[in-house]
Chain A
């Protein structure tokens, strides 16, 4: 167990709806990253938050947004859901930013859009 917890574990939404996924980072970690993993693919970087500010973003449209709270937990919000948003969403926490730190992944949220 990594100490990174995500909720909910499974979710079914209808196309066009909005969804919020949550992540509690490991104790002492101030950096949270979000990844999308489609079936049969490797995870794709969505964005990273460091001390409540966005620190970097991947190639995802603006309807993917995030937030980090003072306790360093984080939310991923997706608006106007599309069928292709169906995936496993992984949260990873790190002690800080920088290439020399290791990321620890949560168990993921399986989102199905119908």
Chain B
């Protein structure tokens, strides 16, 4: 059964610093998602990664996928306070088209 693990689960960092959130998944997956969730809010889709070596960037966030290592990363460049949120990694199991499996989330707190 597909399991998705993120680390760290909590991250406090200074504005202007760089950091990376790691996402490992246990079995082959068709696609990998990154979502952002603000407190009390729903999930906002950030990136969808489909193939090995895929890299996508939006502003200060960059996501990558290594399907051989079953690893995705979300890199934050020169963090700003507005990026404070919880970030979820999620994947779809092979041969299933119904459910998305989420990690526990990384709660990111950026200090001004």
Contact = CB atoms under 8 A, between A and B. Distances in A.
Interface of A: 2, 33, 35, 40-45, 47-48, 55-56, 58, 90, 92, 97-100, 102-108, 110
Nearest to B45: A102
A56 B42 contact: no
Interface residues of B, number: 23
Contacts of A42: 4, 88, 90, 102-105
Contact of B30 (A90, A92, A99, A110): A99
Contacts of B68: none
A108 B104 contact: no
Interface of B: 4, 30-31, 40-45, 48, 88, 90, 92, 96-105
A99 B31 CA distance: 7
Contacts of B42: 2, 90, 105-108
B22 to A, nearest CB: 15
A55 B97 CA distance: 9
B58 to A, nearest CB: 15
A19 to B, nearest CB: 19
Given A99-B30, A107-B42, A41 B99 contact: no
B102 A56 contact: no
A42 B23 CA distance: 13
> Which of A47, A55, A56, A99 is most buried by chain B, counting CB atoms within 10 A of its CB?
A99
